[in-house]
Amino acid sequence: RKEVEQDPGPFNVPEGATVAFNCTYSNSASQSFFWYRQDCRKEPKLLMSVYSSGNEDGRFTAQLNRASQYISLLIRDSKLSDSATYLCVVNLAGSARQLTFGSGTQLTVLP
């Protein structure tokens, strides 16, 4: 079993749609959680951290369920510029800065 598993993609949605990505992690000792965004042939960029109480940043909402070891990302009112691969990332307790990435979910927002 992979340490971090994400929804299989790709997701193709029209502009203005709401889309949700899910992610599960296997290690209950995981301590920090993030969503990164990666454009084609570019480096990953931090989209947002994920907190236990859930958090929102504009059109983006992240949720964490520690009991189910589940993370989600909701994008409302999708824009063409949201087209990218979204990577679910966890950091194990005690593993310093070692980030464990999921394989990513590709999103294409269509005009």
Binding site for other proteins (CB under 8 A): 4, 31-32, 34, 42-46, 49, 87, 89, 91, 93, 95-104
Distance in Å, CB of 88 to other proteins, minimum: 8
Q: 3-class SS at 82?
A: helix
Distance in Å, CB of 10 to other proteins, minimum: 11
Are β-strands 44-50 and 4-6 bridged in parallel, bridged antiparallel, or unpaired?
unpaired
The single-letter code of the amino acid at 55 is N
Whose Cβ is closer to other proteins: residue 47's or residue 75's? 47
Distance in Å, CB of 77 to other proteins, minimum: 25
Report whether 29 contacts 90 (CB < 8 A): no
